Structure 1
């Protein structure tokens, strides 16, 4: 099947008031013109029973406009720059022939497709420019239904599209729309439907795993890894602003860490100036999220287990209330950066950077992966030398090396045999987790002593003693576990060799 040229898209999600503000804005009317009357559109989104297409970063939908004689098939692929195509159709059912011999995806040609969501939309089309320079704006509002109509959600979005050579103009247009009415940036238009169908709407977004099989270039691998990190960061803004603030903060912080780790891993091949600028922006975001997450960890890991044993202890309850107040103050400092307008602008910076060429040179992906993993493994082993004599600071440094190695292995593991990579990752993850628990206890000792020194309340002092004593016993058990975890990790084969 022949595809028309790929057309990159930027998708902005609004609330109902913001969408109305955008539609009626004189500024929008001034920079664009109507391209026909408003019409109705039916979008049916398809995948396998286990969402096999989505797991490969592929979106497939049939789009039927009321004025059109036939439907169009819309295909998107996250592994391809600007990977969004409109395909001709021979009938009214989705056709998988477009996959052809498309690398690892060709195995999905016989996938049994089922509709997982239907969108009923009212659409107003606008355009700016002419001919090859045309920018298209599709203002879409309506409902998404999934699960045989049992799950419903409203949708208000603007889908901006253009020819690839007009990408920068498309980004500028998106910035103008966000300035008119704040919005959330999403990296693909099926995201809301997918989350609704999977029962994840409104929940914090974990890192999505996608393999690199079928990708041969270093630039292609980095682009996909970066895109997944940006997606995780962007998807958790609404959770932090809503009710899932604890998990939302955690998952956004993980997304920031994964993206920063990816930049460090690929840094020798990245264009220096853009990578440095993006790293600085991510560091600023991390500095706002980190203190909030640290308080969450302290409450969940240090205070809550003891409070569960002594639920009516006034001192421990006082400690928890005190740290809850600290968290609220820290979150209040972070929230201005997470307002829709500045945050969407940052996400556009990240998307623009990832889509328009981040590498300064190419290379064989397999060779790069082996070399990069070997380098990180050597640094990890060096940090763990004389393991039994390491003090808490040295163990913390070892944990940081372990987390960097884990991220690198997670990014690149699908290039190597699965059994060996799984054993290595399981041993490394266990080591990092145990080191993390010990570090939490070490940090808690300092924090509790500082809090005891600032407060003369006898019940609080008593509570601090209980918390310290309980975790001292836990630390003794963890000391035995961490030695075994290190020994087990040292026995693992290098899966990239």
Structure 2
């Protein structure tokens, strides 16, 4: 998105951020409905919705109404439908090829791959259908109207009326502290706790994407962005591997249990566990690098 004006009111900056998120969502929704399915359309729509919710939550620290937009239920339902399609895309396009490359040729994995492909096609059709619903078509316009009305009703002395440059350090600082808190004693953290760290890292990454342009001349900004991106990538990979267990349960649903299918699932789980162990070692190093990297903003 274009750099924000540091002298602009924080509410105006938020409106531009939200507009960029909705534009990202709309262009990919149109792409999904216009032609042949491509996994990136679903992925980018999910990213746009996460960025949208993260932006509202970021500024919601100073205006609670932003944390509960009237269309929150619709956003969550849409994100869930897109997530089901995305999970199968990752499983078929990323996870299974790793397993197949490491496994001996056999019919068990081939049968699992064929079944996963069938379920994926169904999830893709469901995602298309949801994105074509009138309530989703109207979502962007309704959110823009809601935010415009909320900002127009703010008192003259409200924090969001202050210059964006004056508000940004506190917003970034809150997200940064959330990451440091979630990452304490990382080696002892469970998979569920690492998931919460991943969410906190993602929120900080989005916040720095939104507001980092205000600090274009900060010498430490590139290094901070690189350390944060590495951390997010590793946590995201670990999460994709963890999602595999849920995908296997979904693939088992409605299927007659059999030794062949069970054997294939066991192969997938063993391969995923091996990859996860390697990524956990990389994560520890990335976390140390992140902690050692100075922030690029001051004041909070």
Both structures adopt the same fold (TM-score exceeding 0.5): yes
Q: CA deviation at 1:301?
A: 2.7
Q: Does the 8 A contact of 2:87 with 2:243 survive in 1? A: no
SS of the equivalent of 1:493 reads coil
Q: Does the 8 A contact of 1:313 with 1:463 survive in 2? A: no
Q: Does the 8 A contact of 2:21 with 2:49 survive in 1? A: yes
Q: Does the 8 A contact of 2:224 with 2:290 survive in 1? A: yes
Instruction: Choose the corresponding residue for 1:422, options 211, 215, 222.
Output: 222
Could you say which residue in structure 1 is the equivalent of 2:276?
A: 475
Task: Please give the alpha-carbon distance, in whole angstroms, between the structure 1 residues aligned to 2:26 and 2:286.
Answer: 35
Q: Is residue 69 of structure 2 the alignment partner of residue 276 of structure 1?
A: yes
User: How has the CA–CA distance of structure 1 residues 433 and 455 changed in structure 2, closer, same or farther, with 3 Å as cutoff?
Assistant: farther
Task: Please give the alpha-carbon distance, in whole angstroms, between the structure 1 residues aligned to 2:141 and 2:74.
Answer: 12
Q: How does 1:39-188 map to 2 (within 5 A)?
A: none
User: How has the CA–CA distance of structure 1 residues 461 and 375 changed in structure 2, closer, same or farther, with 3 Å as cutoff?
Assistant: same
Q: CA deviation at 1:376?
A: 1.2
Could you say which residue in structure 2 is the equivalent of 1:234?
A: 26
Could you say which residue in structure 2 is the equivalent of 1:381?
A: 180
Question: Greater strand percent: which structure?
Answer: 1
Instruction: Choose the corresponding residue for 2:236, options 428, 436, 443.
Output: 436
Question: Greater helix percent: which structure?
Answer: 2
Task: Please give the alpha-carbon distance, in whole angstroms, between the structure 1 residues aligned to 2:66 and 2:284.
Answer: 42
Q: Is residue 89 of structure 2 the alignment partner of residue 289 of structure 1?
A: no
Instruction: Name which of structure 1's ranges 478-487 and 261-270 shifts more when overlaid on structure 2.
Output: 261-270
Q: Deviations over 1:413-460 (max 9, x none)?
A: 011134322211211111121122222223324544775696544433
TM-score (norm 2): 0.85
Count the aligned residue pairs.
Answer: 289
Instruction: Choose the corresponding residue for 1:255, options 38, 48, 57.
Output: 48
Higher relative contact order (CA 8 A, sep 6+): 2
SS of the equivalent of 1:358 reads helix
Instruction: Choose the corresponding residue for 2:207, options 408, 423, 427.
Output: 408
Could you say which residue in structure 2 is the equivalent of 1:396?
A: 195
Could you say which residue in structure 2 is the equivalent of 1:323?
A: 116
Q: CA deviation at 1:316?
A: 1.9
Q: Does the 8 A contact of 1:246 with 1:296 survive in 2? A: yes
SS of the equivalent of 1:236 reads helix
Task: Please give the alpha-carbon distance, in whole angstroms, between the structure 1 residues aligned to 2:283 and 2:67.
Answer: 40
User: How has the CA–CA distance of structure 1 residues 452 and 271 changed in structure 2, closer, same or farther, with 3 Å as cutoff?
Assistant: closer
User: How has the CA–CA distance of structure 1 residues 460 and 394 changed in structure 2, closer, same or farther, with 3 Å as cutoff?
Assistant: same
Q: Is residue 158 of structure 2 the alignment partner of residue 365 of structure 1?
A: no
SS of the equivalent of 2:293 reads coil
RMSD across aligned positions (CA): 2.6
Task: Please give the alpha-carbon distance, in whole angstroms, between the structure 2 residues aligned to 1:397 and 1:301.
Answer: 23
Q: Which has the larger radius of gyration?
A: 1
Q: Is residue 294 of structure 2 the alignment partner of residue 493 of structure 1?
A: yes
TM-score (norm 1): 0.53
Q: Is residue 243 of structure 2 the alignment partner of residue 243 of structure 1?
A: no
User: How has the CA–CA distance of structure 1 residues 255 and 215 changed in structure 2, closer, same or farther, with 3 Å as cutoff?
Assistant: farther
Instruction: Choose the corresponding residue for 2:263, options 462, 475, 478.
Output: 462
Q: CA deviation at 1:237?
A: 1.4
Q: Deviations over 1:162-198 (max 9, x none)?
A: xxxxxxxxxxxxxxxxxxxxxxxxxxxxxxxxxxxxx
User: How has the CA–CA distance of structure 1 residues 418 and 325 changed in structure 2, closer, same or farther, with 3 Å as cutoff?
Assistant: farther
Task: Please give the alpha-carbon distance, in whole angstroms, between the structure 1 residues aligned to 2:201 and 2:55.
Answer: 14
Q: CA deviation at 1:248?
A: 0.8
